[in-house]
Amino acid sequence: MNENKTQPAFTSLINLAAEKLGAKVLWTTDDFFAEKENLIKPGRGIFIADKYTDRGKWMDGWESRRKRTEGHDACILELATPGIIKGFDIDTNHFLGNHPPFASVEACYETSITSIEDLEAANKWTEILPKSPLDPGSQHFFEIANDQKWTHLKLHIYPDGGVARFKVYGNVYKDWSLVDENKEVDLAAAVNGGKSILCNDMFFSHMDNLIMPERGANMGDGWETKRNRTPNNRDWVIVKLGTKGTINRLLIDTCHFKGNYPDTCSLEGAIIENEKDLEGANWSEILPKSKLSADHEHFFVEELNAKGPFTHVRLNIFPDGGISRMRIFGNKTV
């Protein structure tokens, strides 16, 4: 466990329990003081000193009432996609006199069950984090040494209390053998296993936002670099595609970016077997340098020079600025 210190390497992976990725909190024994859905929201939660509800102090997290009977509280989450879990962050931020002293996590893999009753009746839960101590107001990082794939988690807290956020870091599992080669998919989408792996700058917002579902919610929900005064500057981000594929069309969305969108962009592709060799990659031009507009969806089809196949793409923006979303529509290749 590591609290409020340098974050472990697994936190660079996708948060499979993120609301914005499509995760859901399905059930809880009790969320009297604060709603279970807060667990999967972004950030670490906020604290507003004088904010109260008719049930008591408003808290930005999941908080159960004080238990006066035997037992403990729990909640069930559905991950945004099936995934292989590498680590947890159980965060009790702002929960000081009301945090749970202990927590544990169980997991299961179920893709056909449609109700909580059926999920519980199946009784296929496996403990992947044993009962572990929690401190008040702290991040608790737990590395998980398990290569199985999971779809649902059950977070147990002992005996009651509040947790601000529950982040589940890992790798998306997608069975590409079930995807027809003639079906067009977004090869870069996070839910399809795409991952932003490297960029030269993400001062204002994270590169992972580029490949999240839906359009950006606001200007903070995109990839934005700082203002760069260097003549002819180029900022860039490399995205690993969910699978090797050919590219049919490209969408670059500057939604919400109005006074800070890039002037132009370009896209390159490469086949990279070992990501340690990124510096030596042989990049091919997919989209030549193309003008962008503020707060606009830009579709490119005829402009594409190369269609692959590729395993990675590099988006270049000139000279700097923000892109909300990038969609790489294409087909998988064997």
Task: List pLDDT tens digits, range 207-234.
Answer: 999 999 999 999 999 999 999 999 999 9
In a shared domain, residues 28 and 138 = yes
- 2 within a domain of the structure (yes/no): no
Q: Examine residue 134 and state whether it is found in any structural domain, yes or no.
A: yes
Lowest mean pLDDT among 42-46, 85-89, 115-119, 135-139: 115-119
Domain contains 265: yes
Q: With 50 as the cut, is the pLDDT of residue 3 above it?
A: no
125 and 93 both lie in a single domain:
yes
| 4 within some domain | no
Q: Do 51 and 197 belong to one domain?
A: no
Domain boundary among 136, 155, 172: 172
Same domain assignment for residues 195 and 55: no
Domain extent at residue 320: 180-332
Claim to verify: residue 323 and residue 201 sit in the same structural domain = yes
Burial label, 280 (beta-carbon count in 10 A; 0-12, 13-18, 19+): exposed
Domain count, the chain: 2
> How does residue 2 score in pLDDT terms, banded at 50, 70 and 90?
very low
Residue 126 CB neighbour total at 10 angstroms: 12
Domain final residue pick, 172, 204, 234: 172
0.75 exceeded by the pTM? yes
**Residue 36 resides in a domain:** yes
Q: Say yes or no to pLDDT of 5 above 80.
A: no
- In Å, the largest CA–CA distance within the chain is 68
Q: Are residues 155 and 196 in the same domain?
A: no
Task: Give the pLDDT score at 1.
Answer: 37
Mark whether 155 and 249 lie in a shared domain.
no
The DSSP secondary structure of 201-233, one letter per residue, reads --SSB-GGGGG-SSS-SSTTSSEEPPP--STT-
Contact of 254 with 293, CB cutoff 8 Å:
yes
Backbone angles phi and psi of 299, in degrees to 5: -100, 135
Residues 60 and 163 in one domain: yes
What CATH number is given to the structural domain containing 263?
2.60.120.260
Q: What is the mean pLDDT of the chain?
A: 96
Residue 3 is assigned to a structural domain of this protein = no
Helix (H, G, I), strand (E, B) or coil at 306: coil
Please state, as a whole number, how many other Cβ atoms lie within 10 Å of the Cβ of residue 200: 14
Q: Are residues 96 and 141 in the same domain?
A: yes
Span of 41-50, 170-179, 268-277, 286-295 with lowest mean pLDDT: 268-277
Give me the mean pLDDT over the 81-101 stretch.
98
Cα–Cα distance for residue pair 173/99, rounded to 1 Å: 33
pLDDT band at 101 (very low <50, low <70, confident <90, very high): very high
What lies within 8 Å, CB to CB, of 91 at 6+ separation is: 44, 45, 138, 139, 140, 163, 164, 165, 166, 167
The pLDDT of 195-213, averaged and rounded, is 97
A 10 A CB-CB count for 67 gives 16
Domain boundary at 149, 172, 195, which? 172
